[in-house]
Amino acid sequence: MFICDISVFNRFGKQRLDEMLQPLEVDWRMLVSLLVVEQVPGISQSKISPFLQTDKANVTKLLQVMEDKDLIKRESDKADKRNKNCFLSDKGQMLVQHLHEILDRWEAQCFQGINKRELKTFQRISERITQNLINDWKN
């Protein structure tokens, strides 16, 4: 069943990724947060929640840990002091390069034994499923 496939991908994919990230003292949630901040410098911490499958309180705790590790900097939003915007620190910027390498290796393991044509088909289908789910959620 499709729902079981999603569950297996999610559980074991994150578990394997955490194993690969362990030497850097980072987990999949930190990786995702760092990559989001890399892509959208200054993103509000409240907008990171959907990427982590958790609530704002847990995201705040995670970002505090990341700030304590000097991976990110959070600054109060000039327009609304209640909001904090996230930026990569110098240490976080250097770490992101390694995270991309690990993510590439992780993806290669995930797609082992799948040829380029099959991978393109999988990506096309995944995009369609994502759009279907997002469209249903928006309506």
Over residues 74-94, the pLDDT tens digits come to: 998 888 777 899 999 999 999
Q: What is the pTM of this model?
A: 0.87
Over residues 21-79, the pLDDT tens digits come to: 999 999 999 999 999 999 999 999 989 988 998 888 999 999 999 999 999 999 988 88
Over residues 91-135, the pLDDT tens digits come to: 999 999 999 999 999 999 999 999 999 999 999 999 999 899 888
What is the four-CA torsion angle of 89, 94, 100, 105, rounded to 10 degrees?
-140
d(CA 86, CA 77): 10
Taking the domain 2-114, which CATH number applies?
1.10.10.10
Which residue, among 101, 82, 122, has the nearest Cα to 35 in the 3D structure? 101
**Rounded mean pLDDT, 14-25:** 96
Domain ranges of the chain: 2-114
d(CA 5, CA 71): 33
